[in-house]
Amino acid sequence: MKKQPNDLILQTVTTVISFIIILFSIDLFFAGHYTPGGGFIGGLMTAAALVLLLLAYDIKTLNTILPFDYRLMTAAGLLIAVLTGAGALLFNEPFLTHAYDYFDLPLLGKTSLHTAVLFDIGVYLVVIGITMTIIQTIGESE
C-alpha cells in the first residue's frame, strides 16, 4: 500500500485510536465469561486495530513494530485451545468441560479463575492470526 504524502494526521490519530481499540478488546476478552465478549470478539477487535495500523503505515512498519509470524500465532492458539479442551479427558470428563475455583488473590481479593480463560486465549490468538494472515495475503497479491 502506498503512503500518502501528508499522512501525519492519519498516523497520529491511528496510533491513539489503535491503543484504545486494543484496550477495549482486552476488556471484551476478560468480560466474556459474565457478559458478551470473549476470545473471538476480542481477537477481532485486536485484528481491527492492527489493520488500522496497517492502513495508516505500511506492512514493513507494522512488521517492525510487531514482528510476529501470524501463521505460527494461529498454530499456537489452536494448540492451546485443543489442549485446554482435551484437558478434561484426563479427568474422565467430556471434551471442553471446564473447571473453576475461587482464590484469594493479594490485590484482587476473592476471585474466580476458570480454565475457559485458557481456551479463550487460544481462540483469541487463532482469530488474530487468521485475520492478519488473510489481510497480509491480500495485500501482497496487489
Q: Is the pLDDT of residue 6 over 70?
A: no
The region of weakest confidence among 3-12, 67-76, 97-106 is 3-12
Q: Is the pLDDT of residue 37 over 70?
A: yes
Q: Is the pLDDT of residue 77 over 90?
A: yes
Contact 47, 34 (CB under 8 A): no
Closest Cα partner for 84 from 97, 71, 73, 67?
97
Give the model's pLDDT for residue 5.
Answer: 59
pTM: 0.85
pLDDT in tens, 88-109: 888 888 888 888 888 888 887 8
